[in-house]
Amino acid sequence: MDDRKVYIVRCGEVALKGLNKPYFERMLVERIKKMLKKYDHVEVKRHEGLIFVRADQKIPAEEIIGQISKVFGVASISPAVEVESDIDRIGEAAVEYMLKLIEEKGIHTFKVEAKRADKTFPIQSPDIGKIIGGKVLIGCKVLKVDVHHPDCLLFVDVRRDQSYIYEQKISGFGGLPLGTNGKGLILLSGGIDSPVAAWMMAKRGMLIEAIHFHSYPYTSERAQEKVEELASIVASYCGRFKMHVINLLPIQEEIVQHCPEEETTILVRRFMMRIAERIAQEKDCTMLITGENLGQVASQTAEALVVTDASVKMPVMRPLIAMDKVDIMDKAKEIGTFETSIQPYEDCCTVFLPKHPTTKPKLDKILNSESRLDAEGLINAAVESTKTITIYPRD
C-alpha cells in the first residue's frame, strides 16, 4: 500500500496542444520533478490527461503545493485522497475526509460534485453525487447540504482503478513548461520592471539568461547584490541560470565626454542593447528581453524605442510594453520581487542622468553623435570584460 500523499496537477494550455500534447506533458512532468528533487521518494506520473504527484505524508502539503504552483504550465493543484473505485469504499473515504474537515475547518455545509471519468463505472455522475452525499450525511451528523453556498465543495472524481476525493483547486500560474520556447537574454536591472519581464517570458516556456550592467565604483557592490537577489527570486520559478555582468562605466564616460548631454541616456541604451546582442549570440539566446514600457520614461517614448531598436538586429521582446505601472507593481508583488526592487540602490542608468533627456530622438542625429565614438572597440572591450555568475533559486 502506497501511503504517500497524492496531489492531482492539472495542465492549463498544455491540454490544448493537439498533436504536440504528449511533448508538452512530458516537459511539464520533467519540470515538476526538477522542482521537487530536493525531496526523497517523490513520484510524478502522467495518467489520463492529469499529472499525479505522490510525496511523503511527512512533507507539509503547503510546501509541495507551493513548489508545484511555481511550475509554469500548471493550471491547478488538488491535494487528494486516493481510494479504490468502489462506491462503498468511496463513501467510507468521503466520510472520513469530511470528519477531518469538520475538525480542522469547522465546516457546516457541503455539496458533492461528482464526475465519472471512467464511463464503464456502473453508476452515473449525478447518482454518485447522491449516494456519496447520503453517506456523508449519515456519517457526519453535523453536516447539511447547501447547493448554493456550501462551506465545502466535495469533489469526487471516479477513474478506472482509483478514485479521488478532494475539496480544493489551488491555482497555478498557467503558461507553458520551461524549455518549450527557446532561450532569451533578459536585460536585468534592479528595478521593478525587468524581473517581471523575465518572469513573464519564462512563463511562456522561454529559458532565461540575464545580463546586468553596472557602473562600479559609481554603483555599489550592494546594488549588484540586490540584482542578484532579484535574479534568484526569478530563478525560484525557472531554475538556476547564468547572469553576465558588465561594467558600463568606460562607455558612459566616453559618451559624456563626446556627445550632447540630452542624448546620453538613449546612447547608453543603444550600447547596452548591442552588448546584450553580442552576449546573446554567444550564448545561443535568440531574443533580447527588456522591462521597457511605453511612455514610462524619456527613453521609452515611441520615438526612443524605435531608435533603441535600430541598434540591434535581434528581436527585442518587451512583455510589459502596454501594461500600466500599477499592474506591473501588482505582478511584482505577486511573484515576490517587489520588496527587493524598491530598496533604494543606484542603477547604472541613473549615473550621468541628463537634466533634460531627449524624448523624441532622431536616428540620424543619434548616429551622427555615435560616429564620434569607437563604438566597435568599446563594445568589444565591454564584451571581453564580462564576468559570468550562476544564479541559484532562492528557497
Residue 322 beta carbon to ligand ATP: minimum distance, rounded to whole angstroms = 15
Q: Which does 188 bind (CB under 5 to 8 A by kind): Mg ion, ligand ATP, none?
A: ligand ATP
Residue 353 near which of Mg ion, ligand ATP, none (CB within 5-8 Å, type-dependent): none
Q: Is 292 in the site for ligand ATP (CB under 6 A)?
A: yes
Pick one of ligand ATP, Mg ion, none as the site partner of residue 31 (Cβ within 5 to 8 A by kind): none
| Alpha carbon distance 382, 254 (integer Å) | 13
Least separation in angstroms between CB 389 and ligand ATP = 14
Told to check if 178 binds ligand ATP by CB under 6 A, we report no
Please, which residue, 170 or 329, has the CB nearer to Mg ion? 329
Contacts of residue 100, defined as CB under 8 A and 6 or more positions apart, other chains included, come to none
- Return binding residues: 187-188, 212-213, 269, 291, 300
Q: Give residues with Cβ within 8 angstroms of 233, minimum separation 6.
A: 195, 335, 336, 337, 340, 394
Distance, CA of 382 to CA of 380 (rounded, Å): 5
27 binding partner (options Mg ion, ligand ATP, none; Cβ < 5 to 8 Å by kind)? none
Binding mask 156-195 for Mg ion (x = CB under 5 A): -------------------------------------x--
Q: Are strands 74-84 and 162-166 parallel, antiparallel or unpaired?
A: antiparallel
Residue 192 interacts with ligand ATP (CB under 6 A): yes or no: yes
Contact pattern for ligand ATP over residues 243 through 282, marking x by CB under 6 A: ----------------------------------------
Nearer to ligand ATP, 95 or 211 (CB): 211
Cα dihedral 34/39/41/42 (nearest 10):
-50
By residue count, the chain amounts to: 395
Task: Find the part of the chain contacting ligand ATP (CB under 6 A) among 11-19, 111-119, 166-174, 191-199.
Answer: 191-199
| 167/193 with CB nearer Mg ion | 193
Quick check: 187 binds ligand ATP (CB under 6 A)? yes
212 contacts which partner out of ligand ATP, Mg ion, none, CB within 5 to 8 A by kind?
A: ligand ATP
Cβ nearer to Mg ion, comparing 190 with 239: 190
Residue type, 102: I
C-alpha cell at 55: 510525496
Give the burial string for 228-255 (b: 16+ CB within 10 Å, else e): bbbbbbbbbbbbebbbbbbbbbebbebb
187 touches, from Mg ion, ligand ATP, none (C-beta below 5 to 8 Å by class): ligand ATP
What sign results for the dihedral spanned by CA atoms 271, 239, 291, 226? negative
Q: Which stretch binds ligand ATP (CB under 6 A): 43-51, 120-128, 181-189, 233-241?
A: 181-189
| Residue whose CB is less far from ligand ATP, 178 or 348 | 348
d(CA 99, CA 196): 43
CA distance 212 to 159: 50
Following DSSP, what letter does each residue of 111-134 receive, concatenated?
A: EEEEEES-TTSSS-HHHHHHHHHH
Whole-angstrom distance, CA of residue 298 vs CA of residue 359: 5
CB closer to Mg ion out of 77 and 197: 197
Could you tell me which residues are beta bridge partners of residue 165?
81, 156
191: contact with ligand ATP by CB under 6 A: yes
Let me know the angle formed at the C-alpha of 183 by 36 and 280, rounded to the nearest 5 degrees.
135
Note the residues at the interface with Mg ion (CB under 5 A): 193
Note the residues at the interface with ligand ATP (CB under 6 A): 187-189, 191-194, 211-213, 290-292, 296-297, 347-349
